[in-house]
Amino acid sequence: MPTISKGAALQTVITTFEVTPGTCQDILDELVDAYEAVISKQPGFIGAGLHVNDAQTRIANYSQWEKREDFQAMLRTEEMRVRNRRINALCKGFEPVMYDVAGVFG
């Protein structure tokens, strides 16, 4: 399970997808399948969450990894390269960005 805490020794990746209401569910299906079949089984994977805005024009994906290199290695697998090309064809674009937790409230 993902844990949000400042100073945690892990890598947080937030990926945003720009989609349309017509492709939102298709991309979600692709992402769920990728997590169930491939990503969650990769070394260093901790957990992830998928979020969709009300208008179905954005998907946000929050994932955590033991190390930055674990996430990068997952992206370089042939299976994920093929899947990411398919996802990219369905959406206007997507961008994974690595973050460090700067603060937690509540």
Question: Domains of the chain: which residue ranges?
Answer: 11-99
pLDDT computed for residue 12 by the predictor:
95
Region 36-50: what's the mean pLDDT?
97
pLDDT computed for residue 8 by the predictor:
85
- Tell me the Ramachandran region of residue 65: left when phi exceeds 0, alpha when psi lies from -120 to 50, beta otherwise: beta
**Do 61 and 32 meet the contact criterion of CB atoms below 8 Å apart?**
no
Class of the domain covering 11-99: alpha beta
Region 47-75: what's the mean pLDDT?
97
**Do 97 and 14 meet the contact criterion of CB atoms below 8 Å apart?**
yes
End-to-end CA distance of the chain: 18
pLDDT computed for residue 73 by the predictor:
97
CA distance 104 to 102: 7
To 10 degrees, what angle do helices 24-37 and 78-90 make? 170
Q: How confident is the model at residue 61 (pLDDT cuts 50, 70, 90)?
A: very high
Enumerate residues 6+ apart whose C-beta is below 8 A from 93.
Answer: 17, 18
Q: How confident is the model at residue 49 (pLDDT cuts 50, 70, 90)?
A: very high
pLDDT above 90 (res 6): no
- Has this prediction a pTM greater than 0.85? yes
Mean of per-residue pLDDT scores for the chain = 94
CA distance 5 to 22: 36
Region 69-98: what's the mean pLDDT?
95
- Nearest alpha carbon to residue 43 among 69, 9, 62: 69
